Structure 1
């Protein structure tokens, strides 16, 4: 693999891509991206472990299922509400510094829990407050994390880089919780929490060592709220970007809550207990890895919208079959295949948005994408309420059908959405024609804008 040379300011100098270079790990040619990839992977591994460790502590302290729900809510609500501010910050300040500051706050939060745990002073309200703090910090970390990828690898390698990141995230969804559960049983919750806090610190160290400052602060006299408003106006004005955001978020709201109901299927429907839940969770996570790797392998291949639509519909149909499956053995490959499909759809949708948008609003638009993290947590409530009334199989089956119909309706009713492949081809051509003294010299506002304004 050819190494990407770096200019004096530390940014990658990319040579034009040929057909032979469009391969699975092409973005790994950038040394900075390799460090960023390591930092991201360790960070999300710690997040996966933290979910199990925090849930264990909450239930051990309270014995209450409601307390578990409250912990999820105090993380999800700030993520949803504060995201636009985090996006504005990612467009105003140095993105590496913003990520580092957020991760340092996470490390301090975890150390505080660790100290309280070892001194015997930990109470539920401590966990609630610190979870709320982390839910308020994540909206500043996540948009900057997404936006900095384009700074490091450029538009031409962006699809590959984001797909590899997604593959790593889905891998950590399997390994993080599994490792945390094993460590709790082997060495106890205190040492396990200490190891997890160390992972957060290692992620921060990898970022500081290997990734240079990504961009200078944007030259703008606008205040924070004015920049947030500017981001909303951009999404409304550029109809293609706005449609892709809705096209991506609505099915996630309807489909992804099924993961929270896997315990119901394992315990009540197929009576397989904790082992069955572990198998279903692992199959779902493995499917996510496979789907993201497939998108990385596709690279900038054409027909993106067709693949997005087919994978969205396939996910709905596969989850419908999973929900009504008469057999656990049949359900496992169905949930695996559904997870492959939803991750192909999500990765292609997210990278299409990142390719289309100009760098000046990348952080703010990335903050809207971050809703895909919080909406499934909020979507659990209505889907669970329906499941309480009519049963989990009917609730998941109904939501899956609605998600598939929503995707088809978007495609059928919007000429702007159907122009996606043409707009991406124009962006790719502009990227190829742009001199690349540094990858941050990306093409200006996406060429999707003129056509995007003409229709819905």
Structure 2
């Protein structure tokens, strides 16, 4: 029964088609990421700064245009939008693949490609976040988020290993071409979806001040503000984990492209396990966000201290489990506690923070690696993450009305008593305590109420996970 429950959202035809398209397409995404990183390293002579700049340019558009993208997504048909963005990404991959295959690619070409991909992501990522809830009901949302992540991570397991072998055999160019073709699976799946069976969110009419409205909504939710701060600090180094792995493999252990693919695949194996474990849970919990991010930071420190390649790749597995536990739970927490008509804007802010810090962190990671070595860079990143989680844990639990000391084992019998969440007026705003408590206590089945309380408790779709396409 638990195995069946793990895949329960696949009972919905539209989501099943979408998930199949993702399953077939995601390996190409990861093949391209490995090829892109390796191509930059080869063209730049192993420069950590060049690799960091590539990552920064890819995520820079989300940093500056993410809020605009979310507001636009709230006004558009999600399925048609995704057909456009996926087609554009495929064309970009083919263009760079042709340059690399002909031997004409230069570092600035990769920079330009990464920036173009980032521009499309401004619409694609919040569009995907807002589209999955239109295919599944609220009670299947957490499961769908986890399965999306599992599909993405399965591609992360197979893609890097295949890419490493292909790069060593035929070069980086054909890998980009293969990824360009793989976008066709997702596009076909989107075209086969039955629009009559969707539950589309009512489009937001075009008007002034929609971005300000979204900012005001989030700023009025202290729980979301704290979680965004946690995500920003954790992702400062965590979003550049792929860069750190590439630098460790190339500059410290001095192995080839195949070894890089294996290392990335080991991290993905852990992430896949973490995503499948998340699919078994019925609701997200704040404790899992904090524990997952803390263990991920500890994993970064341990990986940076490993003296040999074999030990390094072994540490990447539990590191991947912790990271996906943190990401999936954080994503579901946001999706289940916001109003449907705000979802595009709120999730664009989530992605802005979750991915937008990469352009800031990437050059820092590259500088630390060049100045002090990739190992020191990883240790500093992990230590920073653990300190941030430790500092933010107290205010996060206080928002929920639970003291940290109440979570510790007690010598005397008796369960800790948590302060009850205050019920606001049904027509008024949801308090931070109520919103977090709704997620913690699994209030998805509670009767809907008007206003923002209905968004936190009543039926209403959420969204897909993180960065998968």
- TM-score, structure 1 normalization: 0.80
Quote the residue 2:315 is aligned against.
Answer: 334
Q: How has the CA–CA distance of structure 1 residues 127 and 311 changed in structure 2, closer, same or farther, with 3 Å as cutoff?
A: closer
Q: What secondary structure is seen at the aligned counterpart in 2 of 1:93?
A: coil
Q: How has the CA–CA distance of structure 1 residues 61 and 309 changed in structure 2, closer, same or farther, with 3 Å as cutoff?
A: closer
Answer yes or no: is the 8 Å Cα contact 2:275–2:324 preserved in 1. Answer: yes
Answer yes or no: is the 8 Å Cα contact 1:76–1:378 preserved in 2. Answer: no
CA distance in 1, matches of 2:162, 2:174: 13
Quote the residue 1:444 is aligned against.
Answer: 454
CA distance in 2, matches of 1:365, 1:203: 25
- Deviation string 1:245-296 (CA, Å, 9 cap, x unpaired) is 2222321223343432224433554555555544432221111111111111
Partner of residue 399 from structure 1, selected from 367, 381, 387: 381
Quote the residue 1:382 is aligned against.
Answer: 364
- Deviation string 1:360-380 (CA, Å, 9 cap, x unpaired) is 111111112223234345313
Q: How has the CA–CA distance of structure 1 residues 443 and 47 changed in structure 2, closer, same or farther, with 3 Å as cutoff?
A: farther
Partner of residue 168 from structure 1, selected from 148, 151, 157: 151
Stretch moving more, 228-237 or 378-387 = 378-387
Answer yes or no: is the 8 Å Cα contact 1:356–1:446 preserved in 2. Answer: yes
In the TM superposition, residue 64 of structure 1 has moved relative to its aligned partner by 7.5
Answer yes or no: is the 8 Å Cα contact 1:386–1:395 preserved in 2. Answer: yes
In the TM superposition, residue 347 of structure 1 has moved relative to its aligned partner by 0.9
Quote the residue 2:30 is aligned against.
Answer: 48
Stretch moving more, 77-86 or 326-335 = 326-335
Quote the residue 2:355 is aligned against.
Answer: 373
Quote the residue 1:354 is aligned against.
Answer: 335
Quote the residue 1:215 is aligned against.
Answer: 200
Q: How has the CA–CA distance of structure 1 residues 362 and 198 changed in structure 2, closer, same or farther, with 3 Å as cutoff?
A: same
Answer yes or no: is the 8 Å Cα contact 1:155–1:431 preserved in 2. Answer: no
Q: Unaligned 5+ residue runs, structure 2?
A: 403-432, 459-469
Answer yes or no: is the 8 Å Cα contact 1:383–1:395 preserved in 2. Answer: yes
Partner of residue 136 from structure 2, selected from 141, 147, 153: 153
Whether 2:97 is the aligned partner of 1:97: answer: no
Q: What secondary structure is seen at the aligned counterpart in 2 of 1:370?
A: helix
In the TM superposition, residue 416 of structure 1 has moved relative to its aligned partner by 1.3
Q: How has the CA–CA distance of structure 1 residues 171 and 118 changed in structure 2, closer, same or farther, with 3 Å as cutoff?
A: closer
Quote the residue 1:429 is aligned against.
Answer: 443
CA distance in 1, matches of 2:171, 2:309: 32
CA distance in 2, matches of 1:62, 1:314: 34
Partner of residue 136 from structure 1, selected from 115, 119, 124: 119
Answer yes or no: is the 8 Å Cα contact 1:93–1:217 preserved in 2. Answer: no
Stretch moving more, 24-33 or 271-280 = 271-280
Quote the residue 2:305 is aligned against.
Answer: 324
Q: What secondary structure is seen at the aligned counterpart in 1 of 2:361?
A: helix
Q: How has the CA–CA distance of structure 1 residues 364 and 274 changed in structure 2, closer, same or farther, with 3 Å as cutoff?
A: same
Q: How has the CA–CA distance of structure 1 residues 186 and 356 changed in structure 2, closer, same or farther, with 3 Å as cutoff?
A: same
Q: How has the CA–CA distance of structure 1 residues 146 and 443 changed in structure 2, closer, same or farther, with 3 Å as cutoff?
A: farther
- Deviation string 1:102-142 (CA, Å, 9 cap, x unpaired) is 11222333444456677887666555434322210111011
Q: How does 1:69-84 map to 2 (within 5 A)?
A: 69-84=52-67
In the TM superposition, residue 413 of structure 1 has moved relative to its aligned partner by 2.6
Answer yes or no: is the 8 Å Cα contact 2:300–2:382 preserved in 1. Answer: yes
- Deviation string 1:5-55 (CA, Å, 9 cap, x unpaired) is xxxxxxxxxxxxxx9798211111111111121233344333222224445
- Count of residue pairs the alignment pairs up: 419
Q: What secondary structure is seen at the aligned counterpart in 1 of 2:455?
A: coil
Q: How has the CA–CA distance of structure 1 residues 114 and 43 changed in structure 2, closer, same or farther, with 3 Å as cutoff?
A: same
In the TM superposition, residue 351 of structure 1 has moved relative to its aligned partner by 0.7
In the TM superposition, residue 386 of structure 1 has moved relative to its aligned partner by 2.9
Whether 2:318 is the aligned partner of 1:308: answer: no
Whether 2:178 is the aligned partner of 1:195: answer: yes
CA distance in 2, matches of 1:178, 1:101: 29
Answer yes or no: is the 8 Å Cα contact 1:319–1:397 preserved in 2. Answer: yes
Q: How has the CA–CA distance of structure 1 residues 444 and 432 changed in structure 2, closer, same or farther, with 3 Å as cutoff?
A: closer
Q: What secondary structure is seen at the aligned counterpart in 2 of 1:300?
A: coil
CA distance in 2, matches of 1:43, 1:229: 36
Q: What secondary structure is seen at the aligned counterpart in 1 of 2:454?
A: coil
Q: What secondary structure is seen at the aligned counterpart in 2 of 1:99?
A: helix
Answer yes or no: is the 8 Å Cα contact 1:36–1:211 preserved in 2. Answer: no
CA distance in 2, matches of 1:368, 1:207: 25
